[in-house]
A and B are shown apart, each in its own frame.
Chain A
C-alpha cells in the first residue's frame, strides 16, 4: 500500500469554468522521492494541501486522498488531526511566512511537542537540538536562542525542515522548498531532504516548476497541466523521451547548460486560467500537434503509450503514462524542436 495515494481526485469551485484539480491520481511509496512539476497555477499547491486534507473553502471534492490507508476526503477531525500531527508534514517556499518573527527558533521547534505531545521542556529541547543537527546547521545550541531574522533564508529553511520532522512524519510534502534560495543553497537543502528520505525511509513529494531539479532529485515525475496529470514516468524517461507535447515544451523552453546553443522553442500562449475551459484536451490551444476534430472535442485519458524506440541507456522503460491522443505518434524532444512554432509568433 502506498504511503500517499490520490485516486481520481477532483476539486471544483463554484463559478469557475473548470475544476482546479481534475481526476488527479498519484502515489508516493515509503522511501520514494516523487516530483510534481508544472507551471504557475497548474494546481501543484492545491494538490500538496489536499494531501493534508486541506481543500479550498466551498470546493466540491470528488475521489479519494489516502495517507497510510486513511481516506482524508470527508474524514472526521480526529483522523485529520492524526495525519497532520503525526503522519505528514509540509515545507513551504517562503520559510519566513511560516514562522512567528518575535519567537525564538527553540520555541518554534518545541511548542507542538510540549503542547500537543505533552513533552517536558528538557526533553523537547533535546529533541530540537537533535533535529537542528540533523539538518546540518552549524551551531544548533546558539540557533535555538536566535530569532528568525538573525538567520539567512537557507538557514531558516533548514529550521523549517527540522520543524516538519518534530512529529516524526512518514511523508514529507515539499512545496517549492528551494524556489526562494540561490543555487548553492538549493543544492544543500536538496541534499538534506534526500538524506532524510533515504535514511528515515520517508516518502517525499517534491513540488517544483523546475523539471531539471525534479529529474536530478526524484525517482519518478508527474507533470501537471491545468489541474490534470498529463504525463508520468521515471526521470530519465521524461527527460530523454517525453511523450506529452507539454512535457516536451517545458524541456524545449529550458536553456541548456551545455551542448549546442540553438534558439529556444517556447510553448506558445499562456497557461489556461480557471475561467477558461476546453471541451477536449486542455493543452489543445497551445499544442503544435493538436488535431482539429479530435483534440478539441474529446479529452484524452492518462494511458500507457505504445513502446517507442529509445536510447539503449533507457531501455527498461518504467510505468510511463501519457494523456495525449497522439502519444503513440509523438516521440520526444528532437521531434518537438522541429515542429514547434516560431518563437516570435507564439504569444499573441
Chain B
C-alpha cells in the first residue's frame, strides 16, 4: 500500500545525555490577571518526553493547552517551575544571537494558523533558506539541496517552493510551516492544534507525515489537540488537562481503553460515533463541574481546585 519512496528523514537530534529525556517539565504554573481576578491557566504541570516520544495534550477550551505550548517555546514565562531541554534550562529571556539560536534549536512550534510562521511576502523556499542561513547551514548550493529535501519530506515540490504562502492550499501551507520548523532541527516540535482547521482529507496527509517524522527521527513531539482520535494516531502518551490541572497522564492506548479519571471518560464519551448519547454528556459534565453550566474560566476565587483528584 505504501509504495512511494520514503522521503529523507531529518537527522536525529543528539541528546546531550544519551538515554536521558529530551524535555523535562516540572511544577509549571502560569497565572494571568485580568480585570482584578487571577486566572490560573496552568497549575503544577510536570511531564517528561524521551527522544522519539510524542505526548498529546488534550482538554477542553480554556484548559491551559496553548499556555503550556507557549511556555515550552519561551513565548510565555512561567510563574513557577522549570523546563529543561536536553538537560539545559530554557532561558526565560534570551539576549544575543547565540542564545536565540540555541533556543530555536531546542524547541520549535507550529500553530493552527500557518501564516504565523511563514512570511506572506516571500516564497516558501526563500523562507526556509533564510532559516538555514540563520543557523549557519552551508553554502548556497548546500542550502538549496536541503530546502528541497525538507520540502520533499512534507510532500511539497519545486512548484510549492517557489509559491507565496497564499498561493498554496491550507494543507500545503501547514506542511510548509512544519518544514520550516524542521529546518532548525529542533530537539522538540510543539504543534498547537496544527491540524484542527484542515479538511479531513488534508488532515490525514499531515497526520501521516507526523507519524513518518516520528518513525524516521528522534524528534520529540508535543501535540496539542482536543481531538482524541487524532491524538491516538500521533502520540504514544496523553495528558488530560482540566482548568489548568493534570487529570490523567497515561499511554494513549490505556487512556482510551481504561480511562481512570471521570473527566477523561467524559471527553471520550463526547466524541461523536454511532449510538452517541449527547444528552448524557451534558448531565455528566454538570456533575463534574464546580460551576454550573459551561466551562467558566478557572478563576482563583470560584474554582481553586479541580473537581476531583488528578490521576497521574
Contacts and interface: CB of A to CB of B under 8 A. Distances in A.
Do A and B truly interact?
A: yes
Interface string A268-309: 001100000000000000000000000000000000000000
Contacts of B199: 39-40, 209, 271
A84 interface: no
A198 to B, nearest CB: 11
A188 B273 contact: no
A334 interface: no
Contacts of B172: 270, 347
Interface string B214-255: 000000000000111110110000000000000000000000
A332 B270 CA distance: 27
Contact of B4 (A138, A215, A342): A342
A270 B172 CA distance: 9
A184 B256 contact: no
Given A215-B274, A342-B3, A343-B208, A184 B203 contact: no
Contacts, number: 170
A257 B285 contact: no
Nearest to A178: B272
A57 interface: no
Interface stretch (B93-101, B178-186, B287-295): B287-295
A183 B60 contact: yes
Nearest to A39: B199
A4 B278 CA distance: 26
A287 B174 CA distance: 23
Interface string B279-302: 101100100000011111000000
Interface in A185-199: 185-188, 190-191, 194-195
B25 interface: no
Interface residues of B, number: 56
Range of interface residues on chain A? 35 or more
Contact of A217 (B1, B276, B294): B276
A265 B233 CA distance: 13
A161 interface: no
B150 to A, nearest CB: 15
Contacts of A252: 204
A63 to B, nearest CB: 27
A257 B256 contact: yes
B61 interface: yes
Given A40-B199, A182-B60, A216-B274, A263 B229 contact: no
A316 interface: no
B6 A191 contact: no
A265 B141 CA distance: 36
B207 A257 contact: no
Contacts of B270: 183-184, 186-187
B7 interface: yes
A154 B269 CA distance: 18
A264 to B, nearest CB: 4
A194 B266 CA distance: 20
Contacts of B267: 183-184
Contacts of A348: 155, 157
A82 interface: no
A266 B293 contact: no
A330 interface: no
Contacts of B212: 344
B201, B203, B269, B273: residue with the most chain A Cβ atoms closer than 10 Å:
B201
B204 A184 contact: no
B259 to A, nearest CB: 12
A346 interface: yes
Interface in B176-210: 199-205, 207-208
B92 to A, nearest CB: 30
B227 to A, nearest CB: 7
Interface string A81-120: 0000000000000000000000000000000000000000
A255 B207 contact: yes
B293 A216 contact: no
Contact of A236 (B1, B205, B274): B274
B271 interface: yes
B278 A194 contact: yes
A241 to B, nearest CB: 14
Given A263-B2, A343-B2, A185 B229 contact: no
Interface in B1-51: 1-7
Given A152-B294, A155-B293, A184-B60, A257 B271 contact: yes
Given A255-B229, A347-B155, A267 B201 contact: yes
B171 interface: yes
Interface in B79-133: none
A39 B282 contact: no
Interface centre among B169, B202, B204, B232 (most CB of A within 10 A): B204
Contact of B204 (A190, A213, A253): A253
B272 A213 contact: yes
Given A185-B60, A236-B274, A254-B229, A40 B170 contact: yes
B169 A257 contact: no
Nearest to B279: A191
A261 interface: yes
Contacts of A215: 272-274
A181 interface: yes
Nearest to B6: A344
Interface of A: 39-40, 136-139, 151-155, 181-188, 190-191, 194-195, 209-213, 215-217, 235-236, 239, 249-250, 252-258, 261, 263-267, 270-271, 337-338, 340, 342-348
17 contacts: A137-B293, A152-B295, A154-B295, A183-B226, A183-B228, A184-B266, A191-B281, A213-B272, A252-B204, A254-B204, A257-B256, A257-B271, A261-B233, A337-B1, A342-B1, A342-B2, A344-B2
Top 4 nearest A-B pairs by Cβ distance?
Answer: A266-B204, A138-B293, A253-B204, A191-B278
Given A209-B200, A216-B276, 15 more contacts: A152-B294, A182-B61, A183-B271, A187-B269, A187-B281, A188-B278, A188-B281, A191-B279, A194-B278, A211-B200, A212-B271, A239-B274, A255-B232, A263-B211, A348-B157
